[in-house]
Chain A
Amino acid sequence: MKIRAIMVNTFREAIRDKVLYSLLFFALLMIGGSILLGRLTIGENIKIIKDMGLASISIFGLLIAIFVGIGLVYKEIDKKTIYTVIAKPVHRYQFLLGKYLGLILTLLVEVSIMSAGLLLLVLFYEGYIELSILKAILLIFFELMTITAVAILFSSFSTPILSGLFTLAVYIVGHLSRDLLAFGVESESAMIKYSTAFIYYSLPNLDNFNIKGKIVHQVLVSWEYLSFAMLYGVLYISIILLLSMVIFQRRDFK
């Protein structure tokens, strides 16, 4: 109940912020813009639309996750709004979880709106909607939930700018981490072997969530794979949130 109240309050703050609407506007503009690009490439029309559409959802979702995520906890402390909440019978972990879920709810709404835009376009051009595109969107959403957790972790102990940079770094390296591991295995140096393995296992392997290319090119993605990726996401998010809670529990609000 208390977690839900904090979640709803966080969601309310987000939807009363104009920045979110402009982001959403640009996302829809980009999804719509894929029609123009599609015109230029004969025959590949629908592929371009799907490709750009999914990329837009992913990028704009990422922008929201990072920008809102890094300020989520910091702003409450900086603006001292957290004082009255912590003085109520609310555990700190409940507060953190509520904030996290509030942003996830915001992302859910945003991603749904963007997806609706994309699906309408696909329906218009193809006449039907395949289930596979929903699979891609589902995994994009899990990726966003993972990134949000990472943003919260950083913002539970550092400033928004640093958190933003760290989170962006995790996003980039997280997409390269499999290559990194491969590079490490080939390497002669034990140092490089261990450090690349460390990075691979501690940072999220975000490629697990990336099936956009396969979906666009109509390669089948099995339900088994989907379940594996989602389970991976849930586990990773749980660990990151737990870590955030431990840090958050110990700090002074001043």
Chain B
Amino acid sequence: MIAVKTQGLSKEFRTGFTMKKVSALHNLNLEVEEGEIFGYIGPNGAGKTTTLKILTGLIYPTSGNAWILGRDIRDVAIKKDIGFLPEGPYFYDYLTAKEFLYFYGQLFGMRKREIEEKMDELLNLVGLRHVKDIQLRRFSKGMLQRIGIAQALINDPKLLLLDEPMSGLDPIGRAKIKEIILQLKEDGKTILFSSHILSDVEMLCDRVGILTNGKLTDVGSLDSLLIPEVKSIEIVTSHMEENTIEEIKTITEKITLRDEKMLIMVDSEENKERVLRIINRNNGRLISLTPGRKTLEEYLVEKLNRGVAL
């Protein structure tokens, strides 16, 4: 089944005194498969939050339709299967962590015992058990983000919609959230999350969708998006004789010498083979060979620059 499907989803906001129209989302056709981790990326103001707010019923689309787990989003009952972490996050700061989770458990109609068990489990999971009786107004930003994740998991949802789940977290917190996201996938859940931390997206996601100015410009697995863009292969060797440099220079100019090591960048498979033959012939030692797949970040930045140039 398809976990999230949108068809021609558009949203216009009217702002200011003149009620000027701002198009936040334009004809979005998005499909997120069940069981995958889907990274939703794009620059500030691209429309990521707008999409998630439509899916959770916080705002209504100007046109288009959307389905979650096969059911129309206008059906409030689908929210039983959703966990949502808003961007921010902003929570009832007069509640303690325990009261906070209890409240959301009640909104799912869960029983007292059921909530309490789940609550303990989640407080442990996000590492907040020691502060469970402290009011949220005294939480740090990262602690709020963690309790937000716990809140999103209280109902054991099938689909998680997370708006920038890693923002505001320290490295340990980020690693923890990544671990949780991967574990959730193992448990068969679908995760759709937006993020600006592209290395995290690269590490976690099965597929990504790139949103620019309210339009979905790219969707696909990271390999399918990034490998056609392979431009360089990095070869590191050592114990090479000086005179071989000249030979390699006929193939590529990109040579860096550092201590005993030589770093060679080539731009094609063919040239890679030629360099490797030279290394072999001269009894050089191959230290590493890295196909320089572009990082998601480089890909995105280039893409956006091209967009600006147009």
Contacts and interface: CB of A to CB of B under 8 A. Distances in A.
A77 to B, nearest CB: 10
Q: Which of A1, A9, A81, A87 has the most CB of B within 10 A?
A: A87
A217 interface: no
A89 B86 contact: no
Interface string A1-31: 1101110010011001100000000000000
A158 to B, nearest CB: 15
B86 A80 contact: yes
B92 A9 contact: yes
6 contacts: A5-B106, A5-B107, A13-B92, A13-B94, A81-B92, A87-B161
Interface string A183-210: 0000000000000000000000000000
A85 interface: yes
Given A1-B109, A2-B106, A2-B107, A87 B90 contact: no
B103 A252 contact: no
A16 B94 contact: yes
The size class of the interface chain B forms with chain A is 20 to 34
A4 B109 CA distance: 11
Contacts of A225: none
A250 B53 CA distance: 14
Given A89-B77, A252-B59, A84 B106 contact: no
A82 B91 CA distance: 9
B299 interface: no
Contacts of B57: 86-87
A83 interface: yes
A80 B108 contact: no
B104 interface: yes
The size class of the interface chain A forms with chain B is 20 to 34
A12 B148 CA distance: 20
B67 interface: no
B189 interface: no
B139 interface: no
B151 interface: yes
A13 to B, nearest CB: 5
A58 B220 CA distance: 64
Nearest to B88: A80
Q: Which of B82, B99, B103 has the most CB of A within 10 A?
A: B103
A214 interface: no
A253 B57 CA distance: 9
A83 B79 CA distance: 13
B59 A254 contact: yes
Contact of A1 (B94, B106, B151): B106
Contacts of B103: 5, 9
B90 A81 contact: yes
